[in-house]
Amino acid sequence: MSAAVRRGLDRIGWDWVAAVLAVVLAAFVVIGASFKATNTAAWFAASPGAVVGSLLAGLFLAAFLYLGLVLLFAWLDRRWDAAAVRTGSTGMPSMRQAVRRWLLPTWAALLAGWLPWLIVHYPGNIDSDTVTQLFEWLKLSQRSDHHPWFDTMVFGWFFSLGHALGSYSYGLFLIVLLIELATALGFALVIAYLARLGLPTRARWLLTAAVAVFPVFFTTPSVLSKDSFAGVFWIPFLVVFTEALRTRVRVLMRPWVGIATLVLMIPLILAQRPNFYLVMLCVVVLLLVSARGTRWRLIAGSAVVVVITNVLWPMVVLPAWHVKPGSLTDMLTIPVQQTARTVKEHGSSLPASERRAINAVLRYDGLAKAYVPTRSDNVKGRWNGKATRSEELAYLKVWLVEGFRYPGTYAAATINNTFEYFTPVTPIDFQNNLNLSRYIDFWHSRAFKTTTREQIVSVVDELHTPTPMQHVQHSWNMVLGAVDASDPLASKALYCSWIPLLALAMGLRRRSWFHALATMPVFINLLILIAGPIALPRYMIPSIYGCVLLVGLTLVPVRWEPRQLSAREGAEGVPSSPPEAATAEDPSETSRPVGAPASPASEGTTGRP
């Protein structure tokens, strides 16, 4: 948008950032609602009347959202301006001081809200994939890195300990308890870090209370999965990334911080393979803003992580333990879903050559029937792992050709698989019971031929220990389910896209590139979700956890350090003035937010908030 147009909108009191965001969110709702109800674009594209009706509904919703966003941004602007004045003459405490002052009280408050749920749901809950990992650990099925062997190994140690004590359920409770303690400690670290940056006391306790009592937080770590386990490392990684961004990587040059970061990044990646791409892209972001003298050491540290997680672990350690490599089919959700939908809708018109290319990798017969609009597992499971490179390339060529021929079908296939990340129409409902009997036949089919069904049943029964709290558990589950069904704070889209977009918009409005770039890990994770097989709640754990930091950052007008410190700052290792009072590097940065209405008090002023 040109400066002249922006000034014209400012004169009539127009916040163009809020307007763009309102239109985007309204589009999410209109498009997603149609796919939720019909699996198609019928509600907004089936006829001229549908198009007009959807446009009118979208415009009305956008106007309503715009009003809410303007009020929210105005409130945040007042807080930023007041905080700049209030903290302009005060320094920032060290991280050690922040931890000593705020970590333990926050941790205790979070556990007070979380532990009752775990106690009532003793010994905790477990994801079906984690039970699959248990069977691999017990050598009842093929050991594989499809579900990361690092997780399988850690979980297996605890299950073996529990079995030695008398029941697998003891091991389940112990590891779930440790994950819960570690996750709560990670959130306490986030909130202590935000307090260090200047988060007001009232906001700190409100954020603490929200994390302590919102079901989306206290139910998450009580379900044992690779996602909840990786979340233990994800939360402190976010703090490290944000502080590295604020200090332009200088903080990572401290030996103990650098070593701790390496120790953190390695299990984060080993616990979930897609985190490798997330971490490396975060490193790219840091390289773009890094101060002088930090870039090569950051590259060297990242190289160590790459060697350990992508060379030594998969090529040396796992083969030595006879662990089968994982497949790459999880990364194929988008193309195979698009192909399956194309076959379903246009199969009769596809040339024979294209059918042959598809058949070589996905078994053409039955592909249309296997297609499930919101889940790619059925189609993805048909992938021929023994296909030759030429067959895979032939399929890739067909996929591209059909994409140009049927763009609407391709778009519909991807939207159907991902709209829940953007449209607030489905709640986050984590598993709240140990009813695993429906998976027994599936596990038996995947086990060794020598594994009996009775062995599978025996392990499952040992995981499930009936307790006197079952009636309380059932009642709590029913109440929580009824509340979540109508609670906007339980929406998948709220955490996956809406809060991150709000945080990004706030950073852009204030021309705080630190705040804008601090959202990058969550948005990178959103891209990983889009490429995933289904919008499962546990896949969204990084988004849910990351939103706590993003909400806190929108309340803190902190700035990052300059690329080049002054002689005094370099000698002391800290900025000569607190970040809240530091002058922005960009001379065009103004006290009035970008796109916000002009006011007499701000007209013609320069400087930073």
On average, the pLDDT of the chain sits at 88
Mean per-residue pLDDT, 533-554: 94
Give me the pLDDT at residue 605, please: 34
Q: How confident is the model at residue 524 (pLDDT cuts 50, 70, 90)?
A: very high
pLDDT tens by residue, 74-112: 999 988 887 766 554 457 899 999 999 999 999 999 999
pLDDT tens by residue, 164-173: 999 999 999 9
Q: How confident is the model at residue 597 (pLDDT cuts 50, 70, 90)?
A: low
Q: Which two tokens stand for residue 300?
A: 């060297």
pLDDT tens by residue, 435-471: 788 889 999 998 999 999 999 999 999 987 777 777 7
Find, among 332, 354, 353, the residue nearest to 343 by Cα: 354
Give me the pLDDT at residue 278, please: 96
Least trusted range by pLDDT, from 446-455, 476-485, 493-502, 547-556:
476-485
CA-based torsion, 173, 175, 177, 179: positive or negative: negative
pLDDT tens by residue, 199-247: 999 999 999 999 999 999 999 999 999 999 999 999 999 999 999 999 9
* Rounded distance between C-alpha atoms, residue 99 and residue 268, angstroms: 23
Task: Indicate the Cα dihedral angle 126, 132, 136, 141, nearest 10°.
Answer: 150
Q: How confident is the model at residue 606 (pLDDT cuts 50, 70, 90)?
A: very low
Find, among 381, 488, 385, the residue nearest to 427 by Cα: 488
Give me the pLDDT at residue 7, please: 58
Least trusted range by pLDDT, from 15-24, 394-403, 580-589:
580-589
Strands (E), 162-228: 223-224
Give me the pLDDT at residue 328, please: 72
Q: Any idea which residue has 């918009």 for tokens?
A: 505
Q: What percentage of the chain carries pLDDT values higher than 90?
A: 71
* Residue 113 contacts residue 212 (beta carbons within 8 Å): yes
- Say which residue, 380 or 8, is predicted with more confidence: 380
CA-based torsion, 581, 583, 585, 587: positive or negative: positive
Q: Would you say residue 489 has pLDDT above 90?
A: no
Give me the pLDDT at residue 602, please: 39
Q: Any idea which residue has 């006391």 for tokens?
A: 201
Mean per-residue pLDDT, 266-287: 96
Q: Which two tokens stand for residue 269?
A: 């990646």
